[in-house]
Amino acid sequence: MHPGSDTSAGATASGEAADAPVSRPAEPPTAAPEPAVAPSAEPAVRATRRQRVARWCRREARRTALAAASGLALGFAFPPYDLWPLSLLAVAALALLTRGRTARQGAWTGFAFGLPFFVLLLKWLDVVGWDAVIGLSLAESLFFVPLGAGLALTSRLPGWPLWAACLWVAEEWARDRLPFGGFPWGRLAFANTGSPFTPLAALGGAPLVTFGVALASTLLAAAVVALWRVYALAGGRAATAPGTTPSAAANAPLGADPAAPADAAGSEADEDAGATPEPAPAARPSGPRLLRGALPAVEAIALAGAVTLAGFLVPVPTDADDTVNIAVVQGNVQQPGMDFLGRPMKILNNHVEATLRLAEDVKAGREPQPDLVIWPENASDLDPYKYREAYARIDLAVKSIGVPVLVGALVDHPTKEGYVENQGIVWDPRTGPGASYTKQHPVPFGEYVPFRDQLSKVISRLDRVPRDFYPGDHSGVMQVGPAKLGDVICFEVAYDEIVRDTVNAGARALVIQTNNATYGRSGQPEQQLVMSRLRAIEHGRAVVTAAPSGISAVVAPDGTIEQRTKEFTQDVLSARIPLRDDITVADRIGAVPEWVLAMVGVLSCAAAIMVSRRGRTDEKGMQ
């Protein structure tokens, strides 16, 4: 029965009349109360759809606004803002906003949280068009719908902060893989690449960092719930009111009266049809009882602190087995944006000229002689195997520096006409081009178009991707001069399994060949750079990022950015980086922690559904 309806009010009034003393026969009948007249039974008028929508909007407006604000707060935890503590507050806020709600209400709250978060995070896509920003944000926000529903369901279980943290891992597990191979941008771990949680990556990779952040956050939310309960006790409110069970008080949404009917607390329908009568005020509890009530809050805060500080106990291996001198060439592009390539061979000539200048500086003693040189993704905009001029220019630069160069180039597929491969090619000064790595995970709608025949008829912008990139079939471990390097191209740094497989295949250091010229000065290069920081700690490897327009960088195995360039400048970085053979615990156990935590999250939802159904069955049996 609707808690704010006239029928409920009438039932309350009838209950009050029934509790009144019965008149004695000896007393005079004067001033006897008139018998209560039952209200005439009128047929219930069904609310129209517009009325139901308006009532729903009024009921959910405040909570939706708070969820959206929390989503924006999470966005500010990521680069270029880098306010990582906001990730804790945002996750805690979502836990509080979904606590005690129905699955459907939690699902909406999750969506309201996710959409503004992704719009802020992915606004660098506006160079393609704001419709691309909104479209991708909407698609990614859909993963927060089951997350919000799961948070609402499991909030009624004992130990709910643990289940909530597992659900965050499950959400990221799904986004990392679906659809079209997934898009893992915006993981909690990527907002915490310089926080106390970061060393957890060496034990369980990015999923364990996400789990630690989510667990600490939901424990803080649990502390807020416990403190709210103490506040209710101190005010003599419903926490001690007759007829209020501890479970009802525990599961009521934050700010709701735990003594109110459960459906009233969950749906806030009293805003639409009048307030539920306040229970009689109870006696204020004693001081010791308040202290006992505050203990759960103290315990939750202590556990949150322990989870946060646990990262400092994780050893991050950095000892070098060997070292190598490298040079990273950033040749720059003709212009930022979608048309960064400019005229043919412009970018290639920029990198050739910067390498020739480096060779002169080495001969003059102004720069140390490198053992190898790294060029970025798309350093050659023409296929050097097909265009002789491009081959000759690369060969000139490599011979001038006298050491192998890892060249990023676009190469026509040798057997599949119309396809192109995004490659890193080891170019030797004596033998020319040799081993190569082909990007395994091309970007959908950026490097290939799914359902091209159907979608190109309705989306003309897809014509800007005239050829599909063909994926590679093996990891990028290659011998480049004296070093065995693992090549990872561009967005692949965001995918756990690609980087992990490269390290386990024998890479002693990692190279991220990338091209962010399209999204320059938008925050996207910073978002990708922090992923290199996390991968360095996760795998105990130095990570070298090479970009034609920046940001190029050298990251130590402990995640320290030792050198970095400015955007849209021509520059060369020279560094001695460590080469390591040992692998971390995260490399040894692989994706096991992620799968286990995600499965626990899903099973906790199943358990919550079973408990809820059992409770309803017991209530019907008692009636």
Question: Which residues, in sequence order, are CB contacts of 158 under 8 Å at separation 6+?
Answer: none
When pLDDT is averaged across residues 487-502 and rounded to a whole number, the result is 98
SS3 at position 186: coil
Q: What integer is the mean pLDDT of 608-613?
A: 89
Please give the DSSP secondary-structure letter assigned to residue 380. B
Contact 586, 539 (CB under 8 A): yes
Average pLDDT, the chain: 87
Distance between CA 495 and CA 507 in Å, rounded? Answer: 17
Each residue's pLDDT tens digit, 105-121: 999 999 999 999 999 99
Kind of pairing between the strands at 468-469 and 419-428: parallel
pLDDT > 70 in the chain, percent: 82
Q: Is 511 helix (H, G, I), strand (E, B) or coil?
A: strand
Chain segment 277-291, per-residue pLDDT in tens: 445 555 566 677 777
467-482 pLDDT, tens digit per residue, is 999 999 999 999 999 9
**pLDDT band per the 50, 70, 90 thresholds, residue 412:** very high
- Residue 190: pLDDT over 90: yes
Residue 328: what pLDDT? 98
- CA dist list (Å): 477 to 137, 422, 548: 34, 15, 22
- Cα distance between residue 369 and residue 367, in whole Å: 7
- How large is the average pLDDT for residues 7-16? 39
pLDDT at 20 over 70: no
Backbone dihedral angles phi then psi of residue 368, each to the nearest 5 degrees: -70, 150
As given in the structure block, the two tokens for residue 247 are 């479970």
The DSSP bridge partners found for residue 409 are 380, 423
Strand bridging mode 419-428 / 405-412: antiparallel
- Where in 395-496 does DSSP place strands (E)? 405-412, 419-428, 432-438, 468-469, 477-480, 483-489
pLDDT in tens, 558-584: 999 999 999 999 999 999 999 999 999
Q: Which two tokens stand for residue 70?
A: 């929390």
Residues 412 and 468: their CA atoms lie apart, in Å, by 10
Q: Which residues is 510 bridged to in the sheet?
A: 486, 543
Quickly state the pLDDT bin for 622 (edges 50, 70, 90): low
pLDDT average, residue stretch 60-82: 97
Q: How confident is the model at residue 603 (pLDDT cuts 50, 70, 90)?
A: very high
* Residue that has been written with the tokens 């029965």 in this structure: 1
Question: What is the amino acid identity at position 610?
Answer: M
Reading the block at residue 381, the tokens are 């905009």
Q: Could you tell me if 171 and 186 are in contact, meaning their C-beta atoms sit under 8 angstroms apart? A: no
Q: What is the mean pLDDT of residues 426-445?
A: 96
Strand intervals (E) in 276-332: 322-330
Provide the residue type at 514 as one letter: T
Predicted confidence band of residue 247 (pLDDT cuts 50, 70, 90): very low
Catalytic residue numbers, as ranges: 377, 439, 490
* Higher per-residue confidence, 442 vs 281: 442
